[in-house]
Amino acid sequence: MRHKGEAVQGGSTITQQLVKNVFLSNKKSLDRKIEEVLLAVDIEHKYSKDKILEFYLNNVYFGRGNYGIETAAKGYFQKDIKDLTLSETAFLAAIPNNPSKYDPINNKGNTLERRNLILKVMLEQKYIDKIQYDSAVKEEIVLSPLSLPVAKGDYVTSFAIDNAAKDLMKYDGFQFKYKFKDDADKAKYQKNTVICIQTMINVLELGDILFIRLLTCQSKNSCRIV
C-alpha cells in the first residue's frame, strides 16, 4: 500500500508476511513465492482477519530480539501493550517494516517519521480524529529499553545473529509455539523467549558473528541469508 508516493505497507498482504516470517525460509525464489501465496490463501480460508492480524502481531519481529507486540512494548517502554498511548503504539507499529532502518535506539528519527505517517493514515481513514492525531504527533516518545544485547552493523549481520540465536535455542531444546491456552500462558512464553534469545546472543562471540556473515555472502557486493 502506498500513501501519496510513500510506502506504508509492503506489497505482500499481512497474511503473506505472516507466512513468510513464521512458516517459510527467507530464501527468494519463484517456488517459495508460490508456496507463500498458496499458504496465505489456505490460512485466509481457515481464520478470520482479526485472528490472522492477532497471530501476525504476536509473531512479527520488532528488532533487538523482540518478537510480538507485547514483548516489544515491554522491551522498549517496559509497559504492557494495554498501557501504551496511541503515539507509542504507532511508534512500535513503525518498526516491523524495516527493523534496522526504524531501530528505535539507533534511528529514532526514522521511527518517528514513520509513526507520524501511520498516524496520518489513521486520521485519513477516520480511525482517529484530529484532536487525537495532533496530540499523538506532539507527544514525546520516551524510551525505557530493557538491556538487550544488540549487534552493531547492518541488517544482514543483525538478521544472521538473530537466526543463529534461534537455531541455538532449537538445538538446546527450546520449543517454539504459536498457540496458547490463555493470556497468562502467552505472557510466560514471551518472557521465556526473550530471556533465551538474550542468552543465546550473548554466547555469540564476534568471531562467530563474522563467520555467520561470511557464510551468507555470495560475492563482495551481494550478501543474503540462506
CA distance 18 to 21: 5
Cβ-proximal residues to 181 (8 Å cutoff; 6+ apart), any chain: none
The reported pLDDT for the residue numbered 171 is: 61
The reported pLDDT for the residue numbered 33 is: 77
CA distance 143 to 95: 14
Mean pLDDT in order along the chain per 10 residues (226 residues): 43 75 68 81 87 86 90 94 95 92 95 96 95 97 75 55 66 68 78 66 46 40 36
CA distance 50 to 57: 11
Query: Which DSSP category does 136 fall into?
Result: H
The reported pLDDT for the residue numbered 32 is: 72
Q: Which CATH number fits domain 48-207: 1.10.1060, 1.10.3470, 1.10.3810, 1.20.120?
A: 1.10.3810
Helices 69-77 and 86-93: crossing angle in degrees, nearest 10, is: 110
In Å, what is the CA distance from 103 to each residue of 34, 46, 97, 107, 153?
A: 31, 34, 10, 5, 12
**Structural domain boundaries of the chain?**
12-46, 48-207
